[in-house]
Chain A
């Protein structure tokens, strides 16, 4: 009788092919992102909501529920309303300036000239330099005594030393300064967005407009701009969200001064909640960003969907 070698039956683990199952693999791959959002975004948000409804300070860490009392107190504080206004001016002023500079820069960079590639690479620098370093450089430019800008203007005979502007000492000029710095940080991003948008417009469409009798301005504002509006809106959402929540430039340059003229929501929330230790009011201040940002994002996304082409 022939002996047939029988394979030894290996016990197959029921988990051996578990990753071949689509639903399991999907869950495993998406889990880190979900955990990240829940732990590092969701939890702090809920915590902030809870703090804002309590009387929690670092000196008296009780979780006493006080309802909307914190919000009422903040709204009655005139400096907070100034802060809210400053935040809007800072955000929309710098976005507008950044967009204008971005469009201008993108058009310049579309023209062929020697060294264009190097300039295109260098233009990204403001975006890549750490905000702390950049702000210190700007601080020197706007310094009350050693301002490079003033020195240049005096040397050029535009102004005299006596009426040289005190950039960071004047409330209006200080706001202008932080708007300029933020626009300077934002405009390379705007250039990239514009370049991506403009180069995606088919040449046939631009040629057709030219033959149809459209000059430079009409081509730009009736054909190219509407066509790149969706991608612009995405860039603007990012810009608005990041600027609205930003406190770094204010913190490094003006500390909200002079006299609260450049205090913005992020900075005020940080000062009240962390520096002064009044966590409850700090949380309430920060939460004022939420409805504003939500409205902006929803509006923008709806707008993009409607304009989708």
Chain B
């Protein structure tokens, strides 16, 4: 296991800058999530780390050694692919043992290692099957076992849950996270799903257009977004952004935008809010509308607890006094970066 460090990695395909200077430090044993929209360069960045792509410029260090010119097999990194990339003509046992066979490990040792990995992921009963006879969740575990069996320096995961159905995804998320904590493996996990990112990452790197916009713990990313992109990319519904009369932008999370009388006294900013539409989602009620005196590209959303706000009290077309605690207001300058004042 080892720390992964990148220094100003750039990758261009012809004219296109896929990765635009990413510097990232992933300490030993950390679970780092790369979060970003499709086509932001996160998968290319991952492929550069494992050696499937060669960076145009920049340095890549694994365990303190520069590995820029090392082939994938010399880097000791394991990767799990979106569609798992299992070898369809091999049994599960031979799939898992493949990385060991490429290292010409003696066969008794291979046997031991495979049994260890199979037990770790609870797939001992599947060893003689072929990938096509497995369910999606089982395939994922086999892919994970294959990635872990040679005790890699780091584990890279490229949207590993996107092929699972919603229910399985929740449990698989739990499994991967538990597993990573138990083994203490340096892990870099690529996803465009913010729920996965928030739920699993020790830290999150938000990436857009080949650049890191912000690196931080899930709390930091959510509570203190570094710029408008992070603010609107993370959170569902996203942070409300309105143009501020003093220049720049004002942001606040929908769950902090509440009817005036629900906020206890203390510093709060009041707004007049016209309700256009409301959605009841069981645990919450999402209300869409506009704010008097503020411009916004998106409708303003408020996330209200249904237990506190009765159906009849907020109707479409009505104006209501709403407010946001001053501590929950975020200021951004005209270029979209977080400004220091609160």
Bound state CA distance, A215 and B74, in angstroms?
11
Bound state CA distance, A119 and B86, in angstroms?
34
Bound state CA distance, A40 and B77, in angstroms?
61
Q: Mark A181-220, 1 if CB is under 8 A from B, else 0.
A: 0000000000000000000001011111111111100100
B102 touching A214 by the CB < 8 A rule?
A: yes
Q: Mark B53-97, 1 if CB is under 8 A from A, else 0.
A: 000000000000000000011000111011111111100000000
B98 touching A210 by the CB < 8 A rule?
A: no
A307 touching B89 by the CB < 8 A rule?
A: yes
B98 touching A227 by the CB < 8 A rule?
A: no
B85 touching A207 by the CB < 8 A rule?
A: yes
A309 touching B89 by the CB < 8 A rule?
A: yes
Bound state CA distance, A213 and B132, in angstroms?
23
Q: Does B52 contact A (CB under 8 A)?
A: yes
Q: Mark A155-193, 1 if CB is under 8 A from B, else 0.
A: 000000000000000000000000000000000000000
Q: Knowing A211-B78, A212-B99, A214-B102 touch, does A309 contact B88 (C-beta < 8 A)?
A: yes
B84: nearest chain-A partner, CB-CB = A204
For B47, list chain A residues within 8 Å (CB).
Answer: 207
For residue A117, give the distance in angstroms from its CB to the closest CB of chain B: 19
For A223, list chain B residues within 8 Å (CB).
Answer: 87
For B84, list chain A residues within 8 Å (CB).
Answer: 204, 208
Q: Knowing A210-B52, A211-B52, A309-B130 touch, does A204 contact B73 (C-beta < 8 A)?
A: no
Bound state CA distance, A309 and B94, in angstroms?
15
Interface extent on B, as a size class? Answer: 20 to 34
Q: Does B141 contact A (CB under 8 A)?
A: no
Q: Knowing A218-B102, A309-B130, A309-B132 touch, does A211 contact B77 (C-beta < 8 A)?
A: yes
Q: Report the number of A-B residue pairs with Cβ-Cβ less than 8 Å.
A: 69
A215: nearest chain-B partner, CB-CB = B73
Q: Does A44 contact B (CB under 8 A)?
A: no
A210 touching B89 by the CB < 8 A rule?
A: no
Q: Does B188 contact A (CB under 8 A)?
A: no
For A227, list chain B residues within 8 Å (CB).
Answer: 87-89
Contact partner of B72 (CB less than 8 A), chosen from A202, A213, A226, is: A213
Bound state CA distance, A222 and B51, in angstroms?
21
Bound state CA distance, A229 and B89, in angstroms?
10
A230: nearest chain-B partner, CB-CB = B89
Contact partner of A207 (CB less than 8 A), chosen from B73, B81, B88, is: B81
Among A202, A204, A209, A226, the one with the most B-chain Cβ atoms within 10 Å of its Cβ is A204
For A211, list chain B residues within 8 Å (CB).
Answer: 50-52, 72-73, 77-79
For B99, list chain A residues within 8 Å (CB).
Answer: 212-213
For B81, list chain A residues within 8 Å (CB).
Answer: 204, 207-208
Q: Does B340 contact A (CB under 8 A)?
A: no
Q: Knowing A211-B50, A212-B146 touch, does A205 contact B102 (C-beta < 8 A)?
A: no
For A205, list chain B residues within 8 Å (CB).
Answer: 85-88
Bound state CA distance, A211 and B72, in angstroms?
5
> Which residues of B come within 8 Å of A, CB atoms?
47, 50-52, 72-73, 77-79, 81-89, 98-99, 102-103, 130, 132, 146, 150
Could you list 22 A-B pairs, sorted by A, with CB under 8 Å? A202-B83, A204-B81, A204-B82, A208-B84, A210-B73, A211-B50, A211-B51, A211-B72, A211-B79, A212-B78, A212-B99, A212-B146, A213-B73, A214-B73, A215-B73, A222-B98, A223-B87, A226-B89, A227-B87, A229-B89, A309-B88, A309-B89
9 cross-chain pairs, A with B, having the tightest CB-CB distances, nearest first: A208-B85, A213-B102, A204-B85, A213-B73, A212-B99, A309-B88, A204-B81, A226-B89, A211-B79
